[in-house]
Structure 1
């Protein structure tokens, strides 16, 4: 802040015993954080106010203004009371700023020093800390800096203790936050969540709509049209408070927040964010492996596999075209050659059979890939035929398929295990050899047979190889975790078969539940006919080998008429 000239009148006024300018405001500042409550009454707002008022009265400060920050940490100066006081300082209206002690003003020694040694002197503001005998009008106090450092250390130490308590609570399986929309706290146990009968069906509906290919923005409009109370409005209604002005006005971000909450699968998910320092209040999203996730701690609103599928679909942006049509396979169709998505192309003048998909890197012949063009009605028939063939084949002998599939996967697993063990043994042997080599070159360097420069260069190479091998060992030792879900995937796919006994036509929900990816190959015209391969990857089981259709589906086009083989 730059110094400014006072805007008040310069008429001489009578001053008190301490030569106080009665024109200007004397701020009596009080602060109490949640951590300070352990100190008892000594740091209470009432006690601070009493001490400051008595001091102001006995020293001739009459034009006083009390500012209070109750429940605010001293490490952050973005507090309402401080902001209001500094605004008055900037206007040149403040003559004195009084606090009970230095820690009440703040516990960040850098910020406290900036204000007391730069900002306040620039605006000719006198600073007084009553209990610490600090008064800028009487010169510097040599112990002030030390006090500020200790106050900062106190905040750091308190932060460590709070983090330790929260870490212990979070890893015990208890929720660190309150229940989200869809749940409420159990009256018998506040740490346990139970379903909210009013909100849980709305959460389930939002996930079902997403599986059906509806985006967050459209979901918000649907909920508003159906007069569904927003999260804030529902809480207000349940607590008997007045409803907001637009109680059914859902916004896109509210829907997104619901779709991203893992707790709806019935788990506890703690440590989703972290801060780099106790002085920085910005929360940073944590990596999934750094979170604490404990399954089955409350009744699930959506199945885990449905939540996972929604997260995959959310990665693919599906925007409504100007023709107000959306591709049935948008986000799922990829190019076999470059791996890019195939864009859905349509316009208002197109009939349904003219809608098509084309590689994103084709760019009307000016890109780096060929078109990989395929019409949506062709793709619709191919995918429907493939789903019917797979479901009919599995239903014919469910137990036989399950046993055959598991046996096949076990054979692959055992082969993979043998290969991984060989690689793991080889990596560990090389790590042991590197340790010996590092010891040997160090001895050579000490004995003078190897220069220090050469030693450092060789050491750098060995340590780099060592780090890479350590990462490889860790990855190989984790192979078990990647195979544990094998039987679960079979059960999830069989559950889909029970859900859809007959599939007369494709819907967005069926496509999103069955299909993980559709790989489209470039057309082959070498035979004089347009032949195009389409490979379909299923959710959970990926490829399913059906004897009747063991190869990727091939579409053939002759004189504009399409046939499927």
Structure 2
């Protein structure tokens, strides 16, 4: 295994392949630590020689520097984190290969919920604003005609045109906002397609390296260990490039 990828601060290599996982509580990066003592070089069960990653762990740097009053350790074994990330990539890569359309729908739906964007409603509103803007242009022409014919007084003409100008300005501002939002929606769709193409290449991957992780993952956030139903649980948030965290689907 590539020691650079293991993320260990060893004399021969000081590169962290996860680009420093972050503590969920304080937001600081996690430090990779190497236990030189206390762990045998041979696995007692498999009798295989332990790799450096098997004697290493990540710990919150705030806790490491300032103690438990500043933050908790958020400690996670390097091997456990490696296995978790590998399994998550494999799972999503298989989805991308087996049914890319369903995976695309899942991811875009998640992003819509996150951004609170209703694309259909926005397009309806945009069409209504466009139609109203055209109506206002026609009303301006009618007002000028009525004024020139003496039907409208100067005062009445000024009041009505000011009202229409204000409405039209507000409408144009809202139109621009909607167009920018819809543009981001289009970009989001492209990002999802890009991610599916990227991760689909790794459905058969059996071992991670630095290039794979940096290509697919933006950051990793490590939660605090807590107890649920009598068992220790630790949340690990994997934030992928282009699409963010991919949460488990709920029915």
TM-score by length of 2: 0.58
2:206 equivalent in structure 1: 504
- Residue 323 of structure 1: CA displacement? 5.6
Distance 1:521 1:417, change over 3 A: farther
Residue 366 of structure 1: how far off its partner (Å): 5.5
Deviation at 1:389, TM superposition (A): 1.4
* Candidates 332, 342, 349, aligned match of 2:30: 342
Counterparts in 2 of 1:110-149, with a 5 A limit? none
> 1:348–1:485: structure 2 CA closer, same or farther, 3 Å change rule?
same
Q: Find the residue that maps to 2:54 and give its secondary structure.
A: helix
Structure 2 residue aligned with 1:387? 89
Q: Which residue of 1 aligns with 2:188?
A: 486
**CA shift digits 1:356-398 (9 cap, x unpaired):** 1111211262561111111110101111111111122232211
Aligned-residue offset at 1:328 = 2.8
Matched, 1:329 2:18: yes
Comparing both structures, which one devotes a greater share of its residues to helix?
2
Rounded Cα–Cα distance in structure 2 between residues aligned with 1:375 and 1:395: 31
Shift in CA distance, 365/493, structure 1 to aligned 2, threshold 3 Å: same
Aligned residue in 1 for 2:42: none
Q: State the match for 1:514 in structure 2.
A: 216
Deviation at 1:513, TM superposition (A): 1.2
Q: 1:323, 1:347 within 8 Å by CA — same for their partners in 2?
A: no
Q: TM-score, normalised by structure 1?
A: 0.28
Cα distance in 2 for residues equivalent to 1:416 and 1:339: 37
Partner residue, 1:413:
117
Measure, in 1, the Cα distance between the counterparts of 2:19 and 2:106.
33
Aligned 8 A contact 1:322 1:348 in 2: no
Query: Relative to structure 1, is the Cα distance of residues 534 and 416 closer, same or farther in structure 2, using a 3 angstrom cutoff?
Result: farther
CA distance in 1, matches of 2:74, 2:83: 17
Deviations 1:49-76 (A, max 9, x none): xxxxxxxxxxxxxxxxxxxxxxxxxxxx
Q: Are 1:358 and 2:59 matched, yes or no?
A: yes
Distance change >3 Å, CA 407–CA 527, structure 1 → 2: closer
Change (3 A) 1:370 1:409: closer
* Partner SS for 1:499: helix
Q: Is the 8 A contact 2:93 2:202 kept in 1?
A: no
CA distance in 2, matches of 1:345, 1:352: 10
Task: Report Cα offsets for 1:478-526 as digits up to 9, x if no partner.
Answer: 5455434112212211221343241101111111111112111100146
- What residue in structure 2 maps to residue 370 of structure 1? 72
Q: Which is greater in Rg?
A: 1
Asked if the contact 1:323–1:346 (Cα under 8 Å) also holds between the matched residues in 2, the reply is no
Question: Are the equivalent residues in 2 in contact too, given 1:361–1:367 (CA < 8 A)?
Answer: no
How many residue pairs get aligned? The number is 181
Unaligned runs of 5+ in 1: 1-211, 214-317, 422-472, 551-565
**CA separation of 1:410 and 1:326: change in aligned 2, threshold 3 A:** closer
Q: 1:352: Cα distance to partner?
A: 2.8
